[in-house]
Amino acid sequence: KNQVEQSPQSLIILEGKNCTLQCNYTVSPFSNLRWYKQDTGRGPVSLTIMTFSENTKSNGRYTATLDADTKQSSLHITASQLSDSASYICVVIRRENTDKLIFGTGTRLQVFP
């Protein structure tokens, strides 16, 4: 079954600290993996898109890694800011149907001062 699982479910950190969010997937055949940031009550916004051949991709303080062999991805946030408080969603796309996104349930991150 094509699934995307994320951990932890929720995370609380202090402003300025780093954190890492995990994503494991069983989706096959794999096309690409995306991390989205979703502020409460708003639409998701894409942070990174990674294809099979990419191991790491950065977007400012966000760095995503991908291990296609173990089917794991991580999103590392450096020097967290209060505005990083949001849900972070891992999304995997199958090669056979690149229009259909398979969503993880997300990690809710709260950054406190």
d(CA 106, CA 74): 12
9 class by beta-carbon count within 10 Å (0-12 exposed, 13-18 middle, 19+ buried): exposed
Between the alpha carbon of residue 74 and those of residues 23, 26, 62, the distances in Å are 6, 15, 10
Question: Whose Cβ is closer to another protein: residue 52's or residue 112's?
Answer: 52
Q: 45-51 and 30-38 as β-strands: parallel, antiparallel, unpaired?
A: antiparallel
Q: How far is the CB of 79 from another protein (least distance, A)?
A: 26
Q: What is the DSSP letter of 81?
A: -
Question: Taking CB under 8 A as the rule, which mask of x and - marks residues 80-109 in contact with another protein?
Answer: ---------x---x---xxxxx-xxxx---
Minimum Å gap between C-beta 97 and another protein is: 7
| Binding of another protein by 64 (CB under 8 A) | no
- Cβ distance to another protein smaller for residue 10 or 18: 10
Q: 30: Cβ–Cβ under 8 A, 6 or more apart, which residues?
A: 52, 68, 71, 92, 93, 94, 95
Cβ 75 to another protein, closest distance in Å? 16
Q: Smallest distance from the beta carbon of 15 to another protein, in angstroms? A: 25
Contact set with another protein (CB under 8 A): 31-32, 34, 41-46, 49, 89, 93, 97-101, 103-106
